[in-house]
Amino acid sequence: MPHSTILITTIAVSLGLALIMGIIAQRLKLPVLVGYLLAGMIIGPYSPGFVADIELSNQLAEIGIILLMFGVGLHFSLDDLLAVRRIALPGAIAQIAMATVLGAMIAISWDWSIGGSIVFGLALSVASTVVLLRALEQHGQLKSINGRIAVGWLIVEDLVVVLVLVLLPPLSAGLISENGAVDGTQLLMTLMITLGKVSVFIAFMLIVGKRLFPWLLWHVASTKSNELFTLCVIAVAVGIAYGAAILFDVSFALGAFFSGMVMRESSLSHRAAQESLPLRDAFSVLFFVSVGMLFDPHILIEEPLRVLIVVGIILLGKSLVAFILVLLFRYPLNTALTVSVSLAQIGELSFILASLGLTIGLLPPEGYSLILAGAFISITLNPLVFQTAEPIQNWIRARSSLARRLERAIDPLAELPMAVASNYVTNHVVIVGYGAVGKRVSEILVKKEIHFVVADHNREIVERLRKDGIHAVAGNAADPAVLIQAHISRASVLIITAADALRVQQMVETTHILNPQVEILISTHDAEDAARLQKENAGMVFLDEQELANNITHHVLNKLQSHR
């Protein structure tokens, strides 16, 4: 029986070619996203040979956007953002504003419309969450304070993009007009109606959805059917996105983002993320392939200068802005470089913005191709850029007195107050890292009235500790100056709870020079790091899982002996 196979052909060719190009990219030590974009270019209308159905690919890409934004909402952590809010919130907003202005000014000089220039600048100002998380994970910095600041920065960028996706359609009429001849009252009314609908939708999700959907997830989980559980997660994601668009005129992206946010309230959110991951990944691949299909490679030949300018804004412009902002917040040079290289790329958020701008007639096709070219090149170069962070740091510290002054200049948090009594910092305990372990240890020391000083990379934690009357210094304890400020030379015990094995080794070496007699205790959750540190005689090493097992076993043995 004859039937149409356009859908099957599009999916089969897209996924198959994406697999091949993804493997090639991985073998070349490139992000797999590069392979997916190349796959789209190969089957796109600008390349010879087979051409996939663009309209159908765009609809599949919409599902990819829904699941991508659902994943963003599902992993959105208000606690993570609040932990670094004083640097991530103002820093990200300032960086987006300055990068947007830079990109818009360049576009205006090319005789683009104001609206198209703003969309272009916004698309260049926001980085890819997918690329960032993978880069931080590969370099072992995801759980470090530098990684947390970078992730918090990206969370703010995600929220800004969500807001832009809401406001851009009602504002597009005024932005498209070259002479500004638009009814201001009508524009204001349209904007107010849009914001009203969005507010009703958000209220519904926070009041009803926050209770209903976690309950539904728990109810489905009680059936003990993995298929039903996965189906529930996907149905909620796609269903809310579709319902939000139909009932509230809200974009699919915003609906999906809030569906992920309310789903996070469930105790089963981690399982929901894991169960939906394969389908999210599959449709995300189709999204990146569809983006690659719309890329016109001729722009690399016809407009090489403009492509270089776009890449320069992404790799140098916004990264330099972020670098300066982090230093102005008095964070170390290492943090400034980590954040700046993390942002030296654009990805899925930029694609979503560019697609919307193209759809509503703000962004010219040339602008879309330039954004795709910038994303393609910046994602490809990002691993290399990450590797240059440490050499750049050493070069700056060796040659720039200004950077060194910005890093620690007249910083009240970088040294203990003069009012701290000498006997308090004699035979005391130095705790490096105020995470879960450091906090528990400090609480016990307070009860036992044992003096201690905390050294932590997070300035906001140090500020809070000082308000609570606990002596603390801000900075990277791998820097000898931080341990000196914690008076390690007169301490009796050093407790290190940092996750980075390299930093731990640097702290141990510094401590051995300043105070050879101090006892060093190291807490880690990584078995390989524990073995390496024990082999190097860094100190007494406590492996989290092993200590938990020892405590449980000790409790069981005591219990059994008491019954004999």
DSSP structure string for 470-526: --EEES-TTSHHHHHHTTGGG-SEEEE--S-HHHHHHHHHHHHHH-TT-EEEEEES-
Residue 100: predicted pLDDT: 92
Identify whether the C-beta of residue 327 lies closer than 8 Å to the C-beta of residue 406: yes
Residues 502, 483: Cα–Cα separation, whole Å:
16
- Share of residues in the chain with pLDDT > 90 (%): 10
Q: Is the pLDDT of residue 1 over 50?
A: no
Q: What is the mean pLDDT of residues 519-543?
A: 80
Query: DSSP letter at 454?
Result: E
Angle at 502 between CA 498 and CA 508, to 5 degrees: 75
Nearest in space to 40 (alpha carbons), one of 278, 252, 297, 281: 297
Q: What is the mean pLDDT of residues 216-230?
A: 85
Q: Where in the chain is the domain with CATH 1.20.1530.20?
A: 2-397
- What are 133's two structure tokens? 């998380």
Would you tell me which CATH number, out of the four given (3.40.1080.10, 3.65.10.10, 1.20.1530.20, 3.30.479.10), belongs to the domain 2-397?
A: 1.20.1530.20
Identify whether the C-beta of residue 73 lies closer than 8 Å to the C-beta of residue 327: no
Residue 101: predicted pLDDT: 93
Phi, psi angles (nearest 5°) of residue 453: -125, 135
What's the pLDDT tens digit per position in 287-334? 788 878 877 888 888 889 999 999 999 999 888 998 888 888 877 777
Q: Where in the chain is the domain with CATH 3.40.50.720?
A: 422-562
Helix or strand or coil: residue 456? strand
- CATH class for the region spanning 422-562: alpha beta
Residues 86, 419: Cα–Cα separation, whole Å:
27
Angle at 179 between CA 174 and CA 181, to 5 degrees: 55
What's the pLDDT tens digit per position in 121-178? 999 998 877 677 767 767 767 666 777 788 778 878 877 887 787 778 777 766 555 5
- What are 294's two structure tokens? 């719309």
Q: Quick one: CA torsion of 228, 232, 233, 236, rounded to 10 degrees?
A: 170
Residue 23: predicted pLDDT: 93
Q: What is the mean pLDDT of residues 191-210?
A: 80
Nearest in space to 126 (alpha carbons), one of 391, 351, 362, 455: 351
Residue 563: predicted pLDDT: 65
Residues 6+ apart with CB under 8 A from 294: 40, 44, 54, 368, 369, 372
Q: What is the mean pLDDT of residues 356-373?
A: 87
Residue 128: predicted pLDDT: 79
Nearest in space to 271 (alpha carbons), one of 79, 74, 81: 74
The 10 Å Cβ neighbour count of residue 230 is: 19
Whole-model pTM? 0.69
